[in-house]
Amino acid sequence: MENEQRRISGADEHFNSFATPLLRPEGAKLIVLEGIDLSGRTTQVHLLRDWLSAQKYHVTTTAWRTSPLISDVLARARTKSPLRPLTYSLLYCADHLDRTERVMRPALERGEIVLADRYVYTAFARDEARGLDKQWVRNLYRFTLEPDAVFYLHISPEEAVRRRVALQPRISLEAKPEKHGEKKQKKLLERAATTVQSPALAPQTLESFHDFEMNMYSQYQRMQKEFNFTVVEGDQSIDLVQVTLRRAVLRLLLEPE
Amino acid sequence: MATDLNKQAGNSSFLEPHRYPGRLVAAEGLDGSGKSTQLQLLSFWLRSEGYEVIITEWNSSKLIKRALKAGRKQGVMDTKLLSLLHAADIAEMHQREILPALKRGAVVLADRYIYTALARDLARGVEAEWVQHVYQFAVRPDLGVYFQISAEEALHRASGSHPLLKYEQQAGMDLARQSDPVGSFRSFQQSVLRAYEAMVGRFELFCLDATQPVKQQQRLLRDAVQRVLPGENE
């Protein structure tokens, strides 16, 4: 509790408005992984989940943009006519609220560990990168729960582009990935599908990918101090990143409340 | 683009006058208060005066209906969630129809705008400060008209001969109690009404007695609109 207090007052004075911390049972933790596209977030969340489950912890995972409420709307927007930027920002907020009330809060009340693949910081980075007013965006998310830890998987935008290019041949060879059951490939494709809608990768696409990631990157860099991110270097092997994360999570779980 | 959005969210809000060449007239009030008829008449007049006029209507678009349906499948919906979905809906209309028209210099007649959304949210118990903040992206109307009728009168006009059939399509039915749909709809309407009344002073809405004859209302409306038309104040 004291810890919570400290973190709140240490945060940016403009944003001390996380929802009142609920009384969580011992062991309930909200752990967030953030990072730009292709930083390895999702892979690391899954590995953490498997490891924690094997240690007999109860774990719930949740990922950005997965509320059934908006998935249909977003899917239609993708295929039919795209929505305006502000509309997306309100829909993403609805997604976050829905998952907060239906997934995260109940799991924490049951005393579980919640692993969030992206959190409000993604919205802050995205919306602010698009020129929306910072205060407006942050106030929108005032209902949200304050995480116990935020791990920021740091990779450079250039590294993201390298990874994106490396994914490319495998994607373009297979227009319909699901027919080819190779597990690893499917995983890669899934990862790619969450970041870019079209597998076609024209030079200008790559350029706008880079610009977007660059933009997100500088937003994350700016938020690091403000929200007390724990930075984990993402430009190393999956195993090494995972080891670092496990060590930090363990410390969090064992620290006296 | 960035500056536009910046303006939409936070910097200039529905609390401050906009700087577009067009004009925005918003009509708010309970269902059945006669807004749509009056806006139609206004549009005839304005067009004959040489203005480009567009009428926008807000009442849960396809976009949001899909989300609401998915939400209902999950059970009772969080009121803030409902509020965000409606806001997304209005934001889309705002960016797609209203802003471009205002930039072109057109007169936009909005059949329901943010005040109706706000009134419904407040009636559902959403925290006022938060929801007013959400709607900061919206341009402040040059004229906001509140069509004032009593809840009883609105109910009477809206319900016709098959009240229950009609109620089911009304806003606020998400709060209805199974045992007493008419009663709970009525109390929702009452809360919406109170929210509207509170907004009249706060947001300087033009209060129109919507029980008057159609012609009389139209005359009052034209006078009010006239005062905000381009060229009148400059």
pLDDT at position B189, please? 87
Judging contacts by C-beta atoms under 8 Å, the chain A residues touching residue B11 are: 133
8 Å CB contact between A114 and A29: yes
ipTM score of the complex? 0.86
8 Å CB contact between A103 and A145: no
Mutate to test the interface with B, among A66, A69, A99, A135 (most CBs of B within 10 A): A69
Distance CA A186, CA A198 (A): 16
DSSP designation for B78: P
pLDDT at position B162, please? 47
How many A/B residue pairs have CB atoms within 8 Å?
100
Distance CA B56, CA B44 (A): 15
Residue A188 CB burial class (10 angstroms; 0-12, 13-18, ≥19): middle
**pLDDT band, residue B152 (cuts 50/70/90):** confident
Distance CA B19, CA A135 (A): 22
The tens digit of pLDDT for each residue in B118-144 reads 999 999 999 999 999 999 999 999 999
Percent of chain B with pLDDT over 70: 84
Q: Which of B9, B80, B92 is opposite residue A136, by nearest beta carbon?
A: B9
pLDDT at position A233, please? 97
pTM beyond 0.90: the answer is no
What does R_g of chain B's alpha carbons equal in angstroms?
18
A149: phi then psi, degrees, rounded to nearest 5: -155, 145
Give the N- to C-terminal CA distance of chain B in Å, as an integer: 28
pLDDT at position A214, please? 94
Q: At residue B44, does pLDDT exceed 50?
A: yes
8 Å CB contact between A130 and A219: no
pLDDT at position A196, please? 46
Rounded to whole angstroms, the maximal C-alpha distance in chain B is 57
Q: What is the nearest CA distance from B9 to chain A, expressed in angstroms?
A: 6
Distance CA B44, CA B39 (A): 9
Mutate to test the interface with A, among B65, B81, B97, B99 (most CBs of A within 10 A): B81
8 Å CB contact between B185 and B173: yes
**pLDDT band, residue A189 (cuts 50/70/90):** low
B106-120 exposure pattern, b = at least 16 Cβ within 10 A, e = fewer:
bbbbbbbbbbbbbbb
Query: Which whole-number Å values give the CA distances from B109 to A96, A196, B85, B143, in the listed order?
Result: 33, 39, 23, 10
- Give the ranges where chain A is alpha helix by DSSP (H): 2-10, 41-54, 68-79, 85-99, 105-109, 120-129, 134-140, 157-173, 183-195, 203-226, 238-254
Q: Which of A90, A91, A131 is opposite residue B5, by nearest beta carbon?
A: A131
The tens digit of pLDDT for each residue in A16-33 reads 456 666 567 788 999 999
* The token pair that represents B167 in the structure block: 């109620």
pLDDT at position B64, please? 83
Strand partners, B209: B148
Q: Which of A68, A84, A135 is opposite residue B95, by nearest beta carbon?
A: A84
**Under an 8 A CB cutoff, do B81 and A94 touch?**
yes
Write the DSSP string, B30-67.
STTSSHHHHHHHHHHHHHHTT--EEEEE-S--HHHHHH
Segment B46-56 mean pLDDT? 97
Percent of chain B with pLDDT over 90: 62
Segment B22-29 mean pLDDT? 97
Distance CA A103, CA A48 (A): 18
pLDDT at position A146, please? 94
A97-134 exposure pattern, b = at least 16 Cβ within 10 A, e = fewer:
bbbbbbbbbebbeeebbbbbbbbbbbbbbbbbbbbbbb
A231: phi then psi, degrees, rounded to nearest 5: -85, 130
Of A63-72, A141-150, A230-239, B177-186, give the lowest mean pLDDT range: B177-186
Helix (H, G, I), strand (E, B) or coil at A148: coil
Beta strand pairing call for B23-29 and B143-148: parallel
What does R_g of chain A's alpha carbons equal in angstroms?
18
8 Å CB contact between B87 and B61: no
Distance CA B23, CA B105 (A): 7
